[in-house]
Each structure stands twice: as structure tokens, then as C-alpha cells.
């Protein structure tokens, strides 16, 4: 009876909110704003910095680095052809530009929050700085600088994000052995850098540092090729560019040890044939995935369960096993991207307040990998169609036949579109490799969502010259209306069916 009375008194004393969001990264911020859209009282709790990895040590900061590295690489591609001396950008200038980009976005978030909490909006939004911890399925304790308060949430969204994964036998000090949390705090170009992990993040940083041209880059890849989840032609073009810029890729390599020597590292790798190599480098970057930030939440107090494998919070369409508690973004263990975190967060809030009954659709997720060249994707790839024995038609067009790419002198890359192997030819997926790739796939993502056939694209009037004209030409190839015929430009155009693992050319006149 005493415990029950304490619980009732606690509920009476707790400030009540329609929606409590734990975590102020991209997903959490989106959830809070969607709650305000519905006129709900919202409390947003953030432990450190609003924006999370979407701003700091992640999407914005690393892509600012990539953009700068691309400019340096483009300048050098041009002047080296003329026999001129290579251009180098001082690291201080790079760090200053990254800081400015981060500050600009941080300032936008800060101003937005403050203005939302004026007298007009104060009744809707409350921002709490601190660590949020469940006391039960509705109450959350917030702790910050020794101060503690308890709030009550009718609906609760968990959006606490993730952090770089570490290995217990590797001493990460964020000085010599770094993760993505520390790589951007460098004071100078490392003379050499070994990157452990050839996934997206590892390959992006390999691209950045090889583009700048001041760092010898080593990339440890456990597979026989980098980016093994993508089609081989994508992997090949990215690998080729790495090698052209002096990147050493250790294919089929097992990391045996990585020792922190203080101001340098030594690593040993082994190969299937028994060979071993021992190499020293100035810095190391550990890029072996991310883990969800759930330790401080005390999920058992709310009855929230982790997934069967215990790697993330278990949920069904963002809803956890506790019906009024939702998990979005990196903690949900699906697609760890800023755009998906935001979409999931909006969807969760809409579900929570009865604004939608549809399930979240992941079929038309548009992604981009900041490599050399950039790689954009939506829907299934050719490799998946082979593995799942999905009968399809595939069209592939080289950038070298796109007028805008020729004008830009950026003709490395291709478009590949996958459609159903029937008369309707509905789009199942697309891969774009090259300049403007991320912009090019948007229309295809929309067609997938709307479940529309390719004919729509063929009838659009695209701006000229533009990269997206290549998409239209792909569609015209499938419809046998193309400007250039694949039977003539076989090295630049391809159109074929894929049935039972067999490729059959679809000759177009």
C-alpha cells in the first residue's frame, strides 16, 4: 500500500506532457516538431547537444570534409594534367570550414528552440537538458549537473541515437587510434592512416583523405571486395579510384592486432593463404559499425524489451512492446541514416496520435555514399535480384554519353535501373554512380512509392543539359525509343533481362 501511495503521489507531482522525446538528434528533433504540429505538449530531453551525430562527428561534419576534399581533388585533376605543382589546402583551413558549417547548423537549432519557447509557443514545447531515465512506463527522471526532476509522458519516443563500436582489445584514445567521434579533431594531416572496416563510413573517410593527397591510406577489408552489399560494378569503380590515388586495400584480410604505440600504431593482418603482414601507420580509424545508446535509459524499469539478438530496441513499425513507447532512428536497428531517423520519428508520432494507420515503407529509401565518385541508391540492386532469383530487366547507361557529364568533364560513372520483367516494367530499384548521383535518383524513388511504370519518365521534359537526362535515356532504351542504340554502343549501353541467374541481352535497334 505504501509503495502504491508513493507512486500515486509521484504521478501527481510530475509535470505531464502529451509527448516526451528522449534524445535531441535528427530523429528526436523531428519527433518533437511533429508533436507540436498536432498541438501537443512536448518535452524534448537532450543529454549533450541538439543535432546529435547528424551535426557533430557525423553527417554534416564529415560531408563538409568530403565536399572540401572533392574540390581539392578536382583542382589537382585539372592542374596535374598541365604539369603544374600539386595543390594542398592547409589543415587549419579545413578545420575552420568544418567548424563554421557545424556552428551554422548548431545556431539554427539553438535559435529555433529558443524562439519556439517564447510566450506564444511555451505551452507546447519544453526543452530539458540532461539524461533521461525511465522510472516506470510513463515517468522519466531527468538528471543534469546534480539537479533531478521527474516528468510524465502519455506517449514516449526513444531517439537516443548510437555511437561508434569499439573492440575491447583495441585501445581507442581518440588521439592515435580514433573513431568517427575523434577523426575530425585532428590538428594536421596524418602522414599515414589505416582504416579498419571497408563499409560505407570507412570508405568515405578513405575517399576524403586520399582526395586531399597528403595521407597514405590503408584500408583493411575482410571481404574479397569493398562494399560487398552493393553490385560488383560499383565496388570495382570505387576500388579503381582508390588505387589510382594510392590507397592500399588489404582484401580478405583479418586484423590480428592493432597496437597503440602512443604517436603511431602497428597492425598485423593475416590472409587465407597463411601470409601475414605487419605495418606501421601514424593514425588508425576504427570503423566497424555503431551501437545504440540505451545503457542510461533503464529500459527494464519501463518494461521495454531489446530485440531477440539484443543489439537494438525491439519494435514493430516503431512501436515497442509497450504500446505507448516508440523507438526511432539508430536505436531501432534498421537503417542508420539521418533521413530515415527523421521519417521514422514523424511516423511514430503520427501513429501515437492516430494520424496514420499505414505502416512505414522502406522500399523507396534514397541513400548516398560519399565516395569517389558518389554513389546513390534506391530500391533493390542487381545483386539482390540474383540472390533472390527475382526476374527483372536491367538497363545501364554510361555517363560518357550524357551531355552534362561531358560538359563537366566528369564522365566516370553510370546509371542502372531495374524494372519488373513484364509489360508494365515497374521500377524496383536504381543505382547512380557519378556526379549529381544523389539528385538523380529522386524521381525514381517517387515512382517506386507511387508504384508507377517507367513510361512516366519517358514523357517528362528534362532540363538540358542535365545529368538526369541519362535517366530518361535509360527508360527510352527499355521502351526501344532511345537516342543511342545499345546494339551500337555496346561498351557504353546495356539492356538485358535477368532470369534464373542468366543474363540475356535485349537487343534494341
pLDDT in tens, 480-493: 888 888 778 888 99
Q: How far apart are CA 351 and CA 357, in angstroms?
A: 7
- Pairs from 499-504 (Cβ < 8 Å, separation ≥ 24): 499/391, 499/421, 500/389, 500/391, 501/386, 501/389
Considering the domain architecture, whether residues 257 and 129 belong to the same structural domain is answered as no
Considering the domain architecture, whether residues 347 and 496 belong to the same structural domain is answered as no
DSSP letters spanning 451-471: T-BTHHHHTS---SS-TTHHH
Decide if 314 contacts 297 (C-beta within 8 A).
no
Domain that holds residue 186: 177-288
Residue 96 grid coordinates: 575552420
In this predicted structure, what is the pLDDT of residue 482? Answer: 84
User: What are the φ and ψ backbone dihedral angles of 404, each rounded to 5 degrees?
Assistant: -65, -40
**pLDDT > 70 fraction of the chain, expressed in percent and rounded:** 96
In this predicted structure, what is the pLDDT of residue 120? Answer: 58
Q: How far apart are CA 164 and CA 418, in angstroms?
A: 34
How far CA 336 is from CA of 65, 248, 315, in Å, comes to 20, 28, 15
Stretch (H or E) spanning 80: helix 59-80
Q: Confirm whether pTM is higher than 0.85.
A: yes
Please indicate, yes or no, if residue 82 is contained in any of the structural domains. Answer: no
Considering the domain architecture, whether residues 25 and 48 belong to the same structural domain is answered as yes
User: What are the φ and ψ backbone dihedral angles of 432, each rounded to 5 degrees?
Assistant: -125, 125
Stretch (H or E) spanning 344: helix 338-352
Please indicate, yes or no, if residue 103 is contained in any of the structural domains. Answer: yes
Please indicate, yes or no, if residue 67 is contained in any of the structural domains. Answer: no
Residue 292 grid coordinates: 545504440
Last residue of a domain, one of 248, 263, 288: 288
Considering the domain architecture, whether residues 315 and 338 belong to the same structural domain is answered as yes
Please indicate, yes or no, if residue 172 is contained in any of the structural domains. Answer: no
In this predicted structure, what is the pLDDT of residue 375? Answer: 97
Question: Kind of pairing, strands 147-158 and 139-144?
Answer: antiparallel
User: What are the φ and ψ backbone dihedral angles of 203, each rounded to 5 degrees?
Assistant: -70, -30
Considering the domain architecture, whether residues 206 and 323 belong to the same structural domain is answered as no
**What is the chain's pLDDT, residue by residue, as a tens digit (509 residues)?**
334 444 444 444 689 999 999 999 999 999 999 999 999 999 999 998 888 888 887 789 999 999 999 999 999 988 877 778 889 999 999 999 999 999 999 999 988 888 888 765 668 999 999 999 999 999 999 999 989 999 999 999 999 999 999 999 999 999 999 999 999 889 999 999 999 999 999 999 999 999 999 999 999 999 999 999 999 999 999 999 999 999 999 999 999 999 999 999 999 999 999 999 999 999 999 999 999 999 999 999 999 999 988 889 999 999 999 999 999 999 998 888 899 999 999 999 999 999 999 999 888 899 999 999 999 999 999 999 999 999 999 999 999 999 999 999 999 999 999 999 998 899 999 999 999 999 899 889 998 988 888 888 887 888 899 999 999 999 999 998 888 887 788 889 999 999 998 999 986 54
In this predicted structure, what is the pLDDT of residue 363? Answer: 87
Which residues, at least 6 apart from 42, have a Cβ–Cβ distance to it below 8 Å?
17, 18, 19, 20, 21, 32, 35, 36, 124, 125, 126
In this predicted structure, what is the pLDDT of residue 341? Answer: 94
Considering the domain architecture, whether residues 251 and 333 belong to the same structural domain is answered as no
Last residue of a domain, one of 263, 288, 313: 288
Number of domains in the chain: 3
Please indicate, yes or no, if residue 245 is contained in any of the structural domains. Answer: yes
CATH no. for residue 145? Answer: 3.50.50.60
Considering the domain architecture, whether residues 209 and 227 belong to the same structural domain is answered as yes
Please indicate, yes or no, if residue 450 is contained in any of the structural domains. Answer: yes
Considering the domain architecture, whether residues 188 and 263 belong to the same structural domain is answered as yes
Considering the domain architecture, whether residues 380 and 487 belong to the same structural domain is answered as yes
Please indicate, yes or no, if residue 81 is contained in any of the structural domains. Answer: no
Considering the domain architecture, whether residues 302 and 187 belong to the same structural domain is answered as no
Query: Angle, nearest 10°, between helix axes 26-37 and 338-352?
Result: 30
Please indicate, yes or no, if residue 310 is contained in any of the structural domains. Answer: yes
CATH no. for residue 471? Answer: 3.30.390.30
Last residue of a domain, one of 288, 303, 332: 288
Considering the domain architecture, whether residues 443 and 295 belong to the same structural domain is answered as no
In this predicted structure, what is the pLDDT of residue 481? Answer: 86
Q: How far apart are CA 41 and CA 32, in angstroms?
A: 9
Considering the domain architecture, whether residues 322 and 392 belong to the same structural domain is answered as no
Amino acid at each position: 500500500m505504501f509503495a502504491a501511495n508513493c507512486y500515486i503521489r509521484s504521478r501527481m507531482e510530475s509535470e505531464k506532457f502529451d509527448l516526451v522525446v528522449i534524445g535531441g538528434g535528427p530523429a528526436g528533433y523531428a519527433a518533437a516538431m511533429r508533436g507540436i504540429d498536432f498541438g501537443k505538449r512536448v518535452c524534448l530531453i537532450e543529454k549533450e547537444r541538439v543535432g546529435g551525430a547528424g551535426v557533430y562527428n557525423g553527417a554534416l561534419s564529415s560531408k563538409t570534409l568530403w565536399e572540401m576534399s572533392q574540390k581539392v581533388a578536382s583542382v589537382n585533376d585539372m592542374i596535374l594534367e598541365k604539369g603544374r605543382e600539386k595543390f594542398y589546402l592547409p589543415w587549419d583551413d579545413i578545420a575552420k570550414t568544418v567548424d563554421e558549417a557545424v556552428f551554422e547548423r548548431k545556431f539554427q537549432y539553438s535559435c529555433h528552440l529558443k524562439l519556439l519557447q517564447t510566450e506564444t509557443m511555451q505551452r507546447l514545447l519544453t526543452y530539458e537538458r540532461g539524461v533521461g531515465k525511465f522510472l516506470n512506463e510513463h515517468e522519466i527522471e531527468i538528471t543534469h549537473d546534480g539537479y533531478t526532476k521527474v516528468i510524465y509522458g502519455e506517449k514516449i519516443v526513444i531517439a537516443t541515437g548510437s555511437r561508434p563500436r569499439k573492440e575491447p582489445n583495441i585501445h581507442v584514445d581518440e588521439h592515435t587510434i580514433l573513431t568517427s567521434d575523434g577523426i575530425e579533431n585532428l590538428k594536421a594531416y596524418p602522414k599515414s592512416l589505416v582504416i579498419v572496416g571497408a563499409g560505407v563510413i570507412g570508405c568515405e573517410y578513405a575517399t576524403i583523405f586520399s582526395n586531399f593527397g597528403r595521407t597514405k591510406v590503408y584500408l583493411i577489408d575482410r571481404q574479397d571486395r569493398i562494399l560487398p552489399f552493393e553490385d560488383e560494378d560499383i565496388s570495382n569503380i570505387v576500388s579503381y579510384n582508390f588505387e589510382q590515388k594510392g590507397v592500399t586495400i588489404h582484401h580478405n584480410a583479418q586484423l590480428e592486432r592493432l597496437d597503440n604505440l602512443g604517436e603511431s600504431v602497428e597492425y598485423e593482418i593475416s590472409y587465407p593463404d597463411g601470409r601475414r603482414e605487419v605495418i606501421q601507420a601514424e593514425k588508425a580509424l576504427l570503423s566497424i559499425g555503431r551501437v545504440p545508446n540505451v545503457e542510461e535509459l533503464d529500459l527494464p524499469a519501463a518494461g521495454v524489451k531489446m530485440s531477440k539478438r539484443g543489439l537494438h530496441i525491439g519494435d514493430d513499425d516503431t512501436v515497442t512492446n509497450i504500446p505507448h513507447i516508440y523507438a526511432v532512428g539508430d536505436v531501432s536497428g534498421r537503417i542508420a541514416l539521418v533521413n530515415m531517423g527523421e521519417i521514422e520519428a514523424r511516423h511514430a508520432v503520427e501513429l501515437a496520435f492516430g494520424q496514420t494507420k499505414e505502416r512505414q515503407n522502406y522500399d523507396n529509401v534514397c541513400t548516398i555514399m560519399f565516395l569517389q565518385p558518389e554513389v546513390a541508391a534506391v530500391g533493390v540492386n542487381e545483386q539482390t535480384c540474383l540472390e533472390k532469383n527475382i526476374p527483372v530487366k536491367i538497363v545501364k547507361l554510361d555517363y560518357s554519353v550524357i551531355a552534362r557529364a561531358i560538359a563537366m568533364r566528369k564522365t566516370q560513372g553510370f546509371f542502372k535501373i531495374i524494372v519488373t520483367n513484364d509489360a508494365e516494367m515497374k521500377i524496383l530499384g536504381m543505382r547512380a554512380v557519378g556526379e549529381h548521383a544523389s539528385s538523380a535518383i529522386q524521381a525514381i524513388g517517387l515512382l517506386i512509392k507511387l508504384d508507377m511504370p517507367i513510361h512516366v519518365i519517358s514523357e517528362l521534359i528534362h532540363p538540358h543539359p542535365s545529368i538526369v537526362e541519362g535517366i530518361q535515356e535509360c527508360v527510352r532504351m527499355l521502351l526501344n525509343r532511345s537516342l543511342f542504340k545499345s546494339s551500337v554502343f555496346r561498351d557504353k549501353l546495356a539492356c538485358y533481362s535477368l532470369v534464373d541467374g542468366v543474363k540475356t541481352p535485349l537487343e534494341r535497334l
